[in-house]
Amino acid sequence: MKVHVPPIKCQGIKTKLIGWITEFAELSPAGRWVEPFMGSGVVGFNMRPERALFADINPHIITFYNAIKSGYVTATKAKAFLEREGAFLAQKGESHYYQIRERFNTGQDPFDFLFLSRACFNGVIRFNKKGRYNVPFGHKPERFAPAYVTKITNQIRYVESAVRQYDWSFVCADFQDIIRSCTEADFLYCDPPYAGRHTDYFNAWSEKDEQLLLELLSATPAKFMLSTWHSNKYRQNLMLAQQADRFLVLTREHFYHVGASEGNRNAMIEALVLNYTPARLYETSVCYK
């Protein structure tokens, strides 16, 4: 299947797992697709539900997509912006990156957020305790070549088309409020930061948060799918192991590459946790009930 990559990327993006995830999602025609942890939004964007609620605690992600929905950010405007700022970056190097970073931390413009997410180190989205974006320069002054700008603007154009066609809402909210608002007609897709695995991208995520999330999912009347990690060669997700007898758990090996070297490319056993039995299962999946 063709996977549509979003214009804003996040750590742990599920681009290479879309086919696996969407195979098991069972959205009711009468309900909403609900993501309490939108992040990149890549799963929902590829599901293309008629109605969707995308939520995240990071206001900059939500502001960016609402800017597309309102028409403030368009593919045409983004192309002109990235061409202009990319030319300055090629000329001035890292000083221009840090100038844009400071401008964003002052004015929080979604165009600056887009630029930083593509020019920073390894595409990381990270904020300090004061809410200021603090990712260093990615050391690629020629980053915004014509083909790369076209790629990004096409990604924005895809979202533009979708928000015109479908009833999609983007809200900045806590995951607890979003999950508690769901009805039995809704489908919940949860992709939280992995406890013990991912560094903070806007606010902390602890084992206590993970436990609260599992309690809320246990009580929800909606169907849910939770993306999490199962294990790697060093350790196992013990919290998931404690829940394995309550839900259906599907697993699949996946590689993440975070960092500058191939030495940081490690195999991870991904898990999908479901409170229902899907119509179809991959033959290669390992299932626990």
- CATH 3.40.50.150 assigned to domain 70-160? The reply is no
pLDDT, one tens digit per residue, over 22-31 is 999 999 888 9
Whole-prediction pTM: 0.89
pLDDT at 289: 42
pLDDT, one tens digit per residue, over 36-65 is 999 999 999 999 999 999 999 999 999 999
CB 221, CB 183: distance < 8 Å: yes
- What CA–CA distances, in Å, run from 33 to 27, 135, 138, 156, 250? 7, 31, 35, 21, 21
Residue ranges, CATH 1.10.1020.10, the chain: 70-160
249 bridge partner residues: 273, 288
Residue ranges, CATH 3.40.50.150, the chain: 15-56+173-288
CB 21, CB 14: distance < 8 Å: yes
- Percent of the chain residues topping a pLDDT of 90: 68
Higher pLDDT, 142 or 265: 142
pLDDT at 263: 47
The whole-angstrom separation of Cα 82 and Cα 63 is 18
What is the three-class DSSP state of 120? strand
Rounded mean pLDDT of the chain? Answer: 88
pLDDT at 80: 98
Encoded tokens for 214: 């599992």
The whole-angstrom separation of Cα 129 and Cα 140 is 27
With 60 as the cut, is the pLDDT of residue 196 above it? no
With 50 as the cut, is the pLDDT of residue 183 above it? yes
Q: Are strands 265-274 and 248-257 parallel, antiparallel or unpaired?
A: antiparallel
The whole-angstrom separation of Cα 22 and Cα 76 is 31
With 50 as the cut, is the pLDDT of residue 11 above it? yes
Mean pLDDT calculated for residue range 58-85: 98
Mean pLDDT calculated for residue range 58-73: 98
- CATH 3.30.420.80 assigned to domain 15-56+173-288? The reply is no
Q: Which residues contact 242 (CB under 8 A, 6 or more apart)?
A: none
Strands (DSSP E) along the chain, which ranges?
33-35, 51-56, 167-172, 187-190, 223-231, 248-257, 265-274, 286-288
Ranges 14-28, 96-110, 201-215, 256-270: which has the least confidence: 256-270
pLDDT, one tens digit per residue, over 83-110 is 999 999 999 999 999 999 999 999 999 9
- Give the dihedral sign, CA 54/57/63/65: negative
pLDDT at 167: 98
The whole-angstrom separation of Cα 227 and Cα 105 is 31
CA atoms within a 13 Å half-sphere pointing along the CA-CB vector of 88: 13
Among 107, 133, 289, residue whose Cα is nearest residue 202: 133
